[in-house]
Amino acid sequence: MRRTAFLFSVFCAAQVGHAAALALMPMPAKMDLAEGALSIDAGFGVAPGTNARLASGVKRFLTRVWRQTGIFPSPSGPSATLEIVCAPCTASPVLSEDESYTLNVTPSSATLKSATVAGALHGLETFLQLIQPGPEGFRVPAVHIVDQPRFAWRGLMLDCSRHFLPLAVVERNLDAMAAVKLNVFHWHLSDDQGFRAESKLYPKLQQAGSDGMFYTQDQMREVVAYAAARGIRVVPEFDIPGHTLSWLVAYPELAAGTGPFEIGRHFGVFDPVLDPTREWTYTFLDGFIGEMAALFPDPFFHVGGDEVNGKAWNQSNGVQAFAKARGLKDTLALQTYFNQRILKVLQKYGKNMVGWDEILGPDLPQGAVIQSWRGAESLAAAASKGYRGILSADYYLDHLRPAAYHYAVDPLAGPSAQLTPEQASHILGGEACMWAELVDAETVDSRVWPRTAAIAERFWSPRELTDVDSMYARMEAVSRQLEWTGVTHRSSYGEMLDRLAGAWPVESLRVLADASEARGLGTGRPASDTQTPLNRFVDAARPESETVRHIELLARKLAGSRTADQADLTTLRAVFNLWAVNDARFQALAEDNALLAEIKPLSKDLAEVGTMGLKILGYWESGKPAPADWVTAQAKEIARMQRPNAEVLLAATRPVRILLDELAKR
């Protein structure tokens, strides 16, 4: 198997030889390769220029070089350098600032130029991705890159309410975001299941609404500074008037209707919401938003606004009387009234309103930003009315869809393709969303990464970049580099499998997990509640299997060629054999193990798939046709095995299916 089997056609055919050196994600806007490479050895160093704000970024960069290569800088100082030329700006990141950079690497030195710190940081991340092992050691290929983002708003939302994410988890995800040039951290800080921000004005919010798990004001300031140092804006979200059970536990007088209220333990849309008719509601929110506005310097402030089912308002005589008196004929009208009031509060504190697409009412002022989650139609509708918008529909990470699914979604495609250039310019970008019904501190990284890197490329790189094989090859390489930022999407996998195996050898469990893919919310896994342990096989399994993708590529190659490569056949046979014989060891491991009992059928299916693969290869090599009824029976079995089992898909069925389909044709 040649390397090019896995990392092909990265950019254009002529550059295939350089493919390994170009495992970049997001891909730069423009790149020209030259001959030779710059060595990364103990003599490598950085001339950071005069920009003081960049100093911490350069320090982090050098630590990453060390972690990526294992090479420690020489105590006697650098002999070859990366020179950074950056304007001496000191500002925090702001929307639509110039994030461009040029990076020029020759065999003897490198130069990075940018107008802003953000641009320089992006260039440093590109440089890190360019470092790869070569014939004489680690190196960066000679290259000239001129790069800038396609969209100005490239975000990741983390829901820290449904399951709390400790500060360290948030911070390591900020490092990983910076590595793929994302620039907005949308921090979902309150929801029915927990109020996660410390308020000094209304301390009962965190005291009664958080189970003791919240961020102090110092910690929130730290996150803002941490993000800013990495070129990332922080947009806090306090979701109102719905999704507010955790507020109402603390301040039941905010509710339309009476309590008692309890912190949400289950998930979904709850009826209790804020009361939009009482002045005290607005007094309270004015105080609270003022307090939070001082902590979060970004001029955008997210007020949620989603999933108000109207029941509490309909059931309240007071609210109904209020609505009638003002001619507010339904829930939407009441929510629009509420939003108008909140908008004034936000304006008082110098903030632009951001909200989910439900806030798009008839009288919404032009400054608001619409975040589309229910579909791209609302984004196009908002843009056509002159509202700014960001796309999140089909970027929901908690669905655990393949990276290719999200990669194919373009903020300017679909209904937005019909917009005029002026209207389209209102579409600022998009955000990947990590809702936390089914993730916690241990599993969140493996649900965010590496798939978010593919979404980040969609937001940054030229629209024409759509080759899925290239995307996967580069995403896999970048996934490993992301480890060096501190996220645990790869290392936690082994630890969680070890836990499931207890004291016993884990190999057979790992073979099964490598061949499996976890299903997500809305795609085969029901939500449970906040107290259900996330320690099952489905929690350890990855959303996409790298192992199976490699085997799929081999199967496709074999299916597409008349003369089979012997090495490919040998590899396929070894893997199918491993699958075929794995079940005996797995069943012994699963004996008396409550957590593994549910995947015993999955393991049996893997053995069946392996055996089937071996038989198909047998027909293949013998040159004899397979009996039609045998092929039909196998196809039926594969279809059965492709249904989720304990909320997990047997990904191993895919390459075998490819070979079976080809066998049927021959």
Per-residue contact string for residues 484-523; x = within reach of a second copy by CB under 8 A: x-----xx--xxx-xxxxxxxxxx----------------
Q: Which residues pair with 144 in a beta bridge?
A: 32, 104
Closer to a second copy by Cβ: residue 281 or 530? 530
Q: Under a CB-based contact definition with an 8 Å cutoff, are residues 646 and 665 in contact?
A: no
The token duo for 390 is 């960001």
- If one asks whether residue 269 binds a second copy (CB under 8 A), the answer comes out as no
- If one asks whether residue 268 binds a second copy (CB under 8 A), the answer comes out as no
- If one asks whether residue 135 binds a second copy (CB under 8 A), the answer comes out as yes
Q: What phi, psi does 62 have (nearest 5°)? A: -65, -35
Per-residue contact string for residues 94-133; x = within reach of a second copy by CB under 8 A: --------------------------------------xx
Q: Measuring CA to CA, which residue among 442, 440, 436 is closest to residue 398?
A: 436
Q: Binding to a second copy (CB under 8 A): which residues in 438-457?
A: 440, 442
The Cα 518–Cα 524 span in angstroms is 9
| Residue 307 is among the residues annotated as catalytic for this protein | yes
Q: Under a CB-based contact definition with an 8 Å cutoff, are residues 172 and 486 in contact?
A: yes
- If one asks whether residue 588 binds a second copy (CB under 8 A), the answer comes out as yes
Q: How far is the CB of 364 from a second copy (least distance, A)?
A: 39
- If one asks whether residue 600 binds a second copy (CB under 8 A), the answer comes out as no
Q: How far is the CB of 442 from a second copy (least distance, A)?
A: 7
- If one asks whether residue 374 binds a second copy (CB under 8 A), the answer comes out as no
Closer to a second copy by Cβ: residue 349 or 504? 504
User: Can you tell me which of 570, 625, 632, 636 binds a second copy, judged by CB under 8 A?
Assistant: 570
Q: How far is the CB of 405 from a second copy (least distance, A)?
A: 22
Q: Under a CB-based contact definition with an 8 Å cutoff, are residues 273 and 307 in contact?
A: no
- If one asks whether residue 596 binds a second copy (CB under 8 A), the answer comes out as yes
User: Can you tell me which of 581, 614, 635, 664 binds a second copy, judged by CB under 8 A?
Assistant: 581
- If one asks whether residue 556 binds a second copy (CB under 8 A), the answer comes out as no
User: Can you tell me which of 91, 567, 633, 639 binds a second copy, judged by CB under 8 A?
Assistant: 567
The Cα 34–Cα 15 span in angstroms is 10
Question: DSSP E strands: which ranges in 40-136?
Answer: 44-47, 80-86, 101-105, 110-114, 132-134
- If one asks whether residue 80 binds a second copy (CB under 8 A), the answer comes out as no
Q: Binding to a second copy (CB under 8 A): which residues in 38-57?
A: 42
- Residues 6+ away with beta carbon under 8 Å from 611: 576, 580
The conformational region for residue 607 under phi > 0 = left, psi -120 to 50 = alpha, else beta, is alpha
Q: Under a CB-based contact definition with an 8 Å cutoff, are residues 589 and 499 in contact?
A: no
The Cα 26–Cα 31 span in angstroms is 12
Q: Binding to a second copy (CB under 8 A): which residues in 144-203?
A: none
Q: How many CB atoms lie within 10 A of CB 571?
A: 15
Closer to a second copy by Cβ: residue 307 or 565? 565
Q: From the candidates 222, 291, 307, 377, which is the catalytic residue?
A: 307
Per-residue contact string for residues 11-40; x = within reach of a second copy by CB under 8 A: --------xxx-x-----------------
- If one asks whether residue 63 binds a second copy (CB under 8 A), the answer comes out as no
Closer to a second copy by Cβ: residue 219 or 593? 593
Handedness of CA 115, 116, 117, 121 (dihedral sign): negative
Q: Is 466 helix (H, G, I), strand (E, B) or coil?
A: coil
Q: Measuring CA to CA, which residue among 48, 44, 64, 174 is closest to residue 117?
A: 48
- Please report how many Cα atoms fall inside a 13 Å half-sphere around the Cα of residue 329, on the Cβ side: 0
Q: How far is the CB of 546 from a second copy (least distance, A)?
A: 7
Name the DSSP class of 645. Answer: B
Name the DSSP class of 490. Answer: T
Per-residue contact string for residues 532-551; x = within reach of a second copy by CB under 8 A: -xxx---x------xx--x-
- If one asks whether residue 591 binds a second copy (CB under 8 A), the answer comes out as yes
Judged by CB under 8 A, how many residues of this single chain contact a second copy? 76
* Active centre residues (catalytic): 307
